[in-house]
Structure 1
Amino acid sequence: MKIYQFYRRQALDMKLDEAWDFFTSPYNLNQITPDFFHVSITSKVPERIYSGLMISYKIVAVFGLPMDWLSEVSHCDEYKRFVYEQRVGPFKFLSHEVALTPLDKGVVMEDIIFYVMPFGWFGRLFHRLLIGRKLNQIFDTRRDYLHARWGSPE
């Protein structure tokens, strides 16, 4: 079993509370992802996330095929970090941590993702041919959107 790791870091010219409110809202996912990755929330979501919160989605990500996804907020250290873990979805395992660190001006946002593809050697091949590239596209779009909206601190 191969465990993949993905890491991104970005400094943004925004206040910590603004960053927390933006990144913890699942309703902002479609703003920060490319058009091929559409997310529809199918469960009730409170105004504030908390550890143990389950969120269900319909996702259209690869080949235009809709799929169900269920994630749990497994960790939530307010204004510091939160972790979404896939409970039902296309990966054998997926954990996505978003960490926020205040700067003198702005914040640093880090995405730390660990995931395992299903289907053994076929999943690893599918990752090499498509999934790895799609993951980079998703986070390139996210980086570009965030930079255009907030810029970098000086």
Structure 2
Amino acid sequence: MQELYFTQMLPITLDQAWSFFSSPVNLKEITPAHMGFVVKSLHHGESMYPGQIIRYTIRPVLGIPMEWVTEITHVADKQYFVDEQRFGPYAFWHHQHRFTEVPGGVLMEDILHYKVPLGFLGKIVDAVYVKNEVLGIFRYRHEILKKRFPA
């Protein structure tokens, strides 16, 4: 299983950070266009809550559409939330989003645990392709957020 950790300082208030990140409708904005990310859930404009199911379509490889379903399993208002995959491309996906008010803004932390299916073959695919894609998504997100919330 992979464990990845990302941080980013955002020069905004905790209320602004929580409002933006707790709304599933904003996920498309911080996901690279080549992923073909579309939120399919009917009530995706609401703030997140424990037990919320969010359905997406993604196109991670060769433009082939794939359904991805996550559940918001934990929410502590203006502190953190956790999304876990229920159906999709991973054998395991657990993503913690943490927000801490600090001087000058908010420290955002992402703690991601994931595992690619297919055993030994999956380990090779992860090493050659998946991990680089995941890192690329977080790099893209970092750059988009710098532009959206400039210092």
TM-score exceeds 0.5: yes
Structure with greater contact order relative to length (CA < 8 Å, sep ≥ 6):
1
Distance 2:33 2:41 in 1: 22
Q: TM-score, normalised by structure 1?
A: 0.93
What runs of 5+ residues in structure 2 fail to find an aligned partner? none
What is the aligned-residue RMSD (CA, Å)? 1.1
Contact 2:37/2:59 (<8 A) preserved: yes
Distance 2:127 2:79 in 1: 33
Distance 1:51 1:131 in 2: 28
Look up the equivalent residue of 1:94 and give its one-letter code: W
Give the secondary structure class of the aligned counterpart of 2:34. Answer: coil
Percent identity over the alignment is 37
Matches within 5 A, 1:1-154: 3-45=1-43, 46-152=45-151
Aligned pair count reads: 150
Give the secondary structure class of the aligned counterpart of 1:36. Answer: helix
Distance 1:120 1:51 in 2: 31
Distance 1:131 1:147 in 2: 25
How much has 1:47 moved relative to structure 2?
Answer: 1.5
Q: Which runs of 4+ in 1 moved over 2 A?
A: none
How much has 1:142 moved relative to structure 2?
Answer: 0.3
String of CA shifts for 1:8-53, please: whole Å, max 9, x gaps.
0000101101100111111111211212112212222252210011
Contact 2:24/2:46 (<8 A) preserved: no
Q: TM-score, normalised by structure 2?
A: 0.95
Contact 1:36/1:62 (<8 A) preserved: no
